[in-house]
Structure formats: structure tokens, C-alpha cells
Structure 1
Amino acid sequence: MIPAAFARATIDREGAAGEAWLAELPGIIDELLTQWDCEPDGEAAHGQVGVVVPVRDDAVLKVSFPHPGNVHEPDAFEAWDGQGAVKLYERDDARYAMLLERAHPTTLMEHDEDVVVTAGDLHRRLRIPAPDGLPRMSEQADAWEEELRKDAAELDHPLPAAVIDAALAVVDELGRDQPEILIHGDFHPRNILRADREPWLAVDPKGYVGDPAYDATTFLRTRAAHQLGADDLITVLNHELELFADAAELDPERIRRWSHLNLVQSAFWGRRHGFGRARGGSQLDKFIALVDELAVSWS
């Protein structure tokens, strides 16, 4: 039941802890199948941190690697109660496991029509008052400021001081006092799946409390990578930002400011760690140059 690619990626990322968890995972899955009276119904799939086993009655068993970033996923699903997201049927927090409504493997990333409007509309529907006990994005503001100042001082980069100051202003003016709204936390097209009950449903939330306009920046950053070959990319992304803001009923300028902070952070992150598979060489240089350009444009 454990996909080989998932096993390799888990060991590469988590080392000995990942290897030990993988050794226990088949037993964990068997116990959960018995506990929730489920029968496997197809081959297991996986994301970055979890295995998904289809089971009878249009459900899936998801078991994730124990990590702080996965703790509040079931809380978000429970709060949404199927509104714009897959339904949560059962949860086992000690084993980072859930029984969820099944969706199709097709993601919004593979859908060519109305991607931005569809995502914006779904984002609007996910916007509800936050339940108690979830982590607040505002608690990260001090760390954001400290990291921005440290990176700006230590890294070799072309970003003007005014661009860095604008990012710091976002932290001070938007980051420290955020709305008590449940946000997805990792809202991008690959986390929006084709479904039967509704056309599209969200999956893999982080479950934070914060500004919905911040949540929109992850979607737009992913769109920037997708649109790399477009003529006049900045114009294209500005248009998509406006479309998303209109569908989500959010202030486009607020999204733009959060996006600016995100881009400056990404510019520094890329220099320290790379981006995804672009860990070095000309591809990484190209991505960093694009992020720098967007950060200046949206400052």
C-alpha cells in the first residue's frame, strides 16, 4: 500500500524518523481499516506528506507523517463541514489519520477554463469564522520581520531598500493584527480536486486563523510559475489577481500587498534553499530573477 516514490521522498526529507514511520505505516493502515470498518477499493495514492487509500462507500483513508504542519488539518475540515471542502467522517489525531470523502485525482491545475475565477469563488466559500484552538498567522509576524532583516543583510541580492521596507510595512500594518477567519493555509490549484457532490472541493488545509487575502498569495504564486512562458507576465498576473479578488470578494490591493511580502520572502528563500526541483544552475537563476522582478513590480 505504500507507493515507492512516496517512501523515497519521505526518507530523503525526514531521514531516520521517516524510515521508522514508514516501517510502521502498513500496520497503522491495517489497524485504521479495522477500526473504521473499511475495505480498500483501489490503489493507494500520495501527496507530499501523506498516503491516501481509497475505501468502499466513496471514502479515502489518509495517513500523514507526524508533523506540526499537519496537526490542524482535521480541525479545518470539521469546521467547514463539507462546505467547499471534502467531508471529514472520522479522525484519529494520535496517528495523524482521517477518513474523508473521496474526490477525483483531477486537480484544478489540469483544468484550462476559468481556473482563477473557480478558485476565487471556492476561496470565498471557505471563508468562515475561525473555531477555537487554531494557530494564528499573526503569531508569525515577529519571525517574519526578523528573517526579512537578516536575509536582506546577509544575502547578495538586487532588491532596493524601498522594496524591503515595503515588505516590512506589510508585516507591521497587516501581519500583526489579522481577522479571526479560518484560512486554508496552502491554497493552490493542486489542492483543489474535481468532485461529485460539488464540481470542485478543497483538500490538504493547514488550518490557520488569519487574513484571507494572505491565503490568496499562495494561489497567485503557483499561477506565476504556471504562466512562466506568457508574454508580459506581470500584466497577466495583475489581471489574474483582479479576477481572483473579484470572485473571492477581497480587496485586490490587500492581496497585492501580501503578495509583495510573499515574493520578497520567496526571493530570499530561493537564494538560500532553491525552489522545488530548481536547486541550482540556470533554472534557479531564472526563477529568482522572475521573483525579484515581481517583488519590485508589486512593491
Structure 2
Amino acid sequence: MIEIPEDFARGTVAREADRGREWIAGLPTLVDELLQRWDCVPEAAVVHGQVGVVLPVRDGEGRSAVLKVSFPHPGNVHEPDAFAVWRGRGAVRLYARDDARFAMLLERAEPRSLAEVPDVDEAVALAGALARRLAVPAPAQLPRLRDQAEPWATELRADRAELAQPLPARTVDAALATLAELGPDQPDTLVHGDLHFTNVLASAREPWLAIDPKGYVGDPAYDTATLLRGRYEDLLAAPDLKAALLRRVAVFADAAGIDRERARRWAQYRAVTAAVWGRRHGDPDWVVRATDVLADLLV
């Protein structure tokens, strides 16, 4: 049986309590069953993200693959659906899926990500070019972001009223305006939903492939925000932080073929929600402060 990394087990239990403890206890057996079912042989130790484990394997057809098993959560439901739509075009290929167990057998990419590309502008442009390829017509069963605009606005207003240290009114008002003006007006386009630097991996088949999508449907500009929160040290090193932020927005938008202003506004909205989430869930103070700065400068 596989060994579950201690930090992953500890984090899962801390976040999910008894459900997490029960899932972690059964995870080695679950992985063994999936290895047998999909005729796979482990080739390296388990690695993990925040919500799932990844085991490098060789499958019965001799392919280099990974077995990914995620904690059952609504945010993970549509990941295999997105892979199925893309069919390897700009993303890793889906070889097999078990939706009830939140498990997938996926093409294995290389461990190098866009986070390791020395030039940040180049990394952002590569992400934008990939986002353009991933923006394809979406099937009807995937969740539409436009349907979330009104509930998101209601939640944000409630957060502003309840939080002991709310964001400045102008910052929150700008985010609410984005939801009101851009939220209902979104295409039926598949978007990654979490397109940050470490979710784009190098590959021999294509130069770069996406992993870990959310499988949302809406405005491709929605994916701008996660590239602003990554490699933050590069932004801090710039003599003008706002100019550096807007430059990154412009580089991504131009490469993705999207409107710069929509990209800026969606990034500002998502910075606001990240700042609120950080306050509610105990993000380190420096993370909250950094996110506050992003939300304010992007107004």
C-alpha cells in the first residue's frame, strides 16, 4: 500500500474534520483498488496538492501516467469533464475516470512548470496563449459563472457588513459593479478556473499542458487573477507596483485574445473575494495584506 504524506493527512483532517479523517484512513486501500482496476504499476512516491494525491504510474498500455485521487468536494466535480472536452488539446489527456471516487488516470507531464520560466512576462504570455487554446465551446452540464453572479454579490455584501476589518468601500464597490455589469454577460466558453503558474506543466507532446482545471463556463478573462497572485516577489521588485500589475494583465489579455479592461475587472473582483476568504479562514497577515493591495490597485 502507498504511504500517505503526513503533512497532507494532517492538513486534510484539520480542514475536513471527521470526513477528512475517514477519507485519509481509506485512501491507501482505495488507491490499491484503482491500481488493480486500471492495471497500473507505481513508478515513484506519492506527491500531493491541497486536496488530492498524485501517484506516478505505468499503465497496462505502457503509458507514463499519474493516478490522481481528490477529496470529494463540489469544487472537484467537473475536473474530468474539462479534460474530456479538451481531449489533450492544451491539457493533459484523460485516460480513465471514476467520478464516484473522485479519481482519474491522467497523462503524465514533466515536473517543470511556468513558475520556473525565468522571464515573468514570457511565463504570463505562455499562460495566455494556453488560455486561448482552452477557451472552447462548453457542454451544457458544466456550471455557468453567470448563474453565480447574483449569489456572489449577495455574499460579498454580507461579508462587508459582517467582517470586523472590511475592505475599503471603493474596493468592494468596484467588485460589485463588475458582478452587476459583466457577470450576466458571459459566453458559453470553457475556462480553466485556476490557471496559475504551477498548474501549467512542461511536456514532450506539447510545450505546455494545463492540469487541475475547475471546469467552469464563462468569460476567459476570469482566469487573469491567479496569474497576478503568483510570483508576487517579481511584482514587489518593480519600481511601480500598479504599473507592473497592469502590465501583467495586459500581457495575459493580449496573449489570450481577451479585452484588457475585462481582464482587469475580473482580476480585481477575484482579489476582493480572495481577501475576504483570507480574513475568514485565517490566512497569514502578509497574505491578506498583499491581496488587499492587489484588490485596491486594480480598481
TM superposition score normalised by structure 1: 0.91
Task: Tell me if 1:62 matches 2:64.
Answer: no
Corresponding residue for 1:18?
Answer: 20
Check 1:108–1:168 CA distance in 2 against 1; reply closer, same or farther (3 A cut): same
Q: Deviations 1:21-77 (Å, cap 9, x if unpaired)? A: 111111111111111111111111111111111111211111111111111110000
Corresponding residue for 1:137?
Answer: 145
1:156 to partner: Cα distance: 4.6
Check 1:110–1:168 CA distance in 2 against 1; reply closer, same or farther (3 A cut): same
Task: Please give the root-mean-square deviation of Cα atoms over the aligned residues, in Å.
Answer: 1.8
Corresponding residue for 1:118?
Answer: 126
1:157 to partner: Cα distance: 4.7
Q: Deviations 1:174-193 (Å, cap 9, x if unpaired)? A: 11232101111111011111
Which stretch shifts more, 50-59 or 79-88?
Answer: 50-59
Check 1:156–1:230 CA distance in 2 against 1; reply closer, same or farther (3 A cut): farther
1:18 to partner: Cα distance: 1.1
* Residues 213 and 250, structure 1, Cα contact 8 Å, conserved in 2: yes
Tell me, what secondary structure is at the counterpart of 1:17?
Answer: helix
**For this pair of structures, how many residues does the alignment match?**
291
* Residues 110 and 203, structure 2, Cα contact 8 Å, conserved in 1: yes
Q: Deviations 1:152-190 (Å, cap 9, x if unpaired)? A: 233355754343322211111111232101111111011
Q: Deviations 1:121-155 (Å, cap 9, x if unpaired)? A: 11111110011211111222122111221222333
| Amino acid in structure 1 at the alignment position of 2:218 | G
Corresponding residue for 1:295?
Answer: 295
Corresponding residue for 2:239?
Answer: 231
Corresponding residue for 1:281?
Answer: none
| Amino acid in structure 2 at the alignment position of 1:41 | E
Q: Deviations 1:98-127 (Å, cap 9, x if unpaired)? A: 110001222211221311111111111111
Tell me, what secondary structure is at the counterpart of 1:177?
Answer: coil
TM superposition score normalised by structure 2: 0.91
Tell me, what secondary structure is at the counterpart of 2:292?
Answer: helix
1:267 to partner: Cα distance: 3.0
Corresponding residue for 2:42?
Answer: 40
* Residues 121 and 247, structure 1, Cα contact 8 Å, conserved in 2: yes
Give, in whole Å, the separation in 2 of the partners of 1:158 and 1:26.
Answer: 43
Give, in whole Å, the separation in 1 of the partners of 2:187 and 2:98.
Answer: 29
| Amino acid in structure 2 at the alignment position of 1:81 | R
Identity %: 57
1:88 to partner: Cα distance: 0.3
Runs of 5+ consecutive residues of structure 1 not aligned to the other structure: 279-283
Check 1:196–1:265 CA distance in 2 against 1; reply closer, same or farther (3 A cut): same
1:268 to partner: Cα distance: 2.7
Runs of 5+ consecutive residues of structure 2 not aligned to the other structure: none
Which stretch shifts more, 289-298 or 20-29?
Answer: 289-298
Corresponding residue for 2:276?
Answer: 268
* Residues 224 and 237, structure 1, Cα contact 8 Å, conserved in 2: no
Corresponding residue for 1:185?
Answer: 193
* Residues 134 and 209, structure 1, Cα contact 8 Å, conserved in 2: yes
Give, in whole Å, the separation in 2 of the partners of 1:35 and 1:10.
Answer: 26
Tell me, what secondary structure is at the counterpart of 1:33?
Answer: helix
Task: Tell me if 1:96 matches 2:102.
Answer: yes
Which stretch shifts more, 150-159 or 229-238?
Answer: 150-159
Give, in whole Å, the separation in 2 of the partners of 1:164 and 1:176.
Answer: 18
Q: Equivalences for 1:139-288 in 2 at 5 Å?
A: 139-157=147-165, 159-224=167-232, 227-275=235-283, 278=284, 284=285, 286-288=286-288
Which of 6, 9, 28 is residue 7 of structure 1 equivalent to? 9
Which stretch shifts more, 46-55 or 257-266?
Answer: 257-266
* Residues 224 and 264, structure 2, Cα contact 8 Å, conserved in 1: no
